Amino acid sequence: MDTAYMNEKFAYYHNLWEERKRDGVRRFLEGAPLSACISRVSLALSNMCNLADIHKKCPASTAGAKQIMKRKNIEKVVKDLQKVNFKGTIAFHLYNEPTNDPRLFDIAKYVKANLPGAEIFLYTNGFYLCQDMCDELEEIVDCITVTAYGKKELERLIKLKVSCGFYTFLGNLDDRLIQYDGESKDTLSKTPCRTFFDQIAVFPNGDIGLCCRDSKHEYSLENVFQGRKSFNNVIDSSKFRKFQTELLSGNREICDLCKNCELIL
Ligand code: SF4
């Protein structure tokens, strides 16, 4: 049995995203501001996931008090991105399940209307994804990725008729929860990391994490909802530039999270 399925449209986006990342790195190294080189902004609508209680290895299972990203803060980021004519991807996940959120369709429509040059990317665990939801989603969303937990679930998902970009694969839970404390068994990597070109990870309270692995946002470089700086001014600060420059040079000693990281972005 296949362990993944990708339609042609998703393959197109996959290649486009890789191209954007490469191009972003090139322009950054030539001196362009980081905000002009990013390809995706992930706005985690909340810290809630319907599978958190059964996926004990997932950071969502340790989320603590419930949080949602306030609508006014989502609109702030969208308006800031509008000013720079952002043409990349907007997603609504980090360690939350976006289809759990009753605001999802409305927020996705708002983003689509206000950032017409951007794609909407939905990453879901697929629990609520049925044919009717797919039919409604594809009017707003450009591509969907689903982590399928179990072979039967993968078989069910592959049978869905989805005309936007669609990718589903058999999921597995890794040891990312212990990556902070250096107990990971992964081999220390010196491979360059393109984290901010891959995505800017905005947690529900506005913390910008280092990447998807920074689930506790312990290493957040700044909070985009506090203070009066625009989203672009926040990520154009010297902290972000220095951090990304070190990682591009292959220096993963920069913090414990990166030290223990085998991920290649
Ligand atoms: S090296 Fe790993 S932990 Fe550090 S930013 Fe890159 S992906 Fe994240």
Question: What are the DSSP calls for 58-74, one per residue?
Answer: SGGGG--S--B--HHHH
What pLDDT is recorded for position 231? 96
Q: How far is CA 9 from CA 15, 40, 113, in A?
A: 10, 18, 22
What pLDDT is recorded for position 182? 61
For ligand 1, is residue 93 a contact (CB within 6 Å)? no
Give kind and range of the element (H or E) at residue 229: none
Query: Structure pTM?
Result: 0.94
For ligand 1, is residue 194 a contact (CB within 6 Å)? no
What pLDDT is recorded for position 187? 56
Pocket test for ligand 1, best of 198, 243, 258 (most atoms within 8 A of CB): 258
What pLDDT is recorded for position 1? 65
Burial group, residue 257, by CB count within 10 angstroms (0-12, 13-18, 19+) = buried
For ligand 1, is residue 193 a contact (CB within 6 Å)? yes
Between the CA of 261 and the centroid of ligand 1 the distance, in Å, is 6
Residue 20, token pair as written in the block: 């954007």
For ligand 1, is residue 200 a contact (CB within 6 Å)? no
Which residue is associated with the tokens 């952002």?
86
Between the CA of 212 and the centroid of ligand 1 the distance, in Å, is 8
DSSP 31: T
What pLDDT is recorded for position 256? 87
pLDDT tens by residue, the chain, 265 residues: 689 999 999 999 999 999 999 999 999 999 999 999 999 999 999 999 999 888 888 888 888 899 999 999 999 999 999 998 999 999 999 999 999 999 999 999 999 999 999 999 999 999 999 999 999 999 999 999 999 999 999 999 999 999 999 999 998 877 777 777 765 545 567 899 999 999 999 999 999 999 998 888 988 999 999 989 999 999 999 999 999 999 999 999 898 899 888 888 9
In sequence order, what are the residues at sequence separation of 6 or more whose Cβ sits closer than 8 angstroms to the Cβ of residue 51? 58, 60, 97, 125, 127, 149
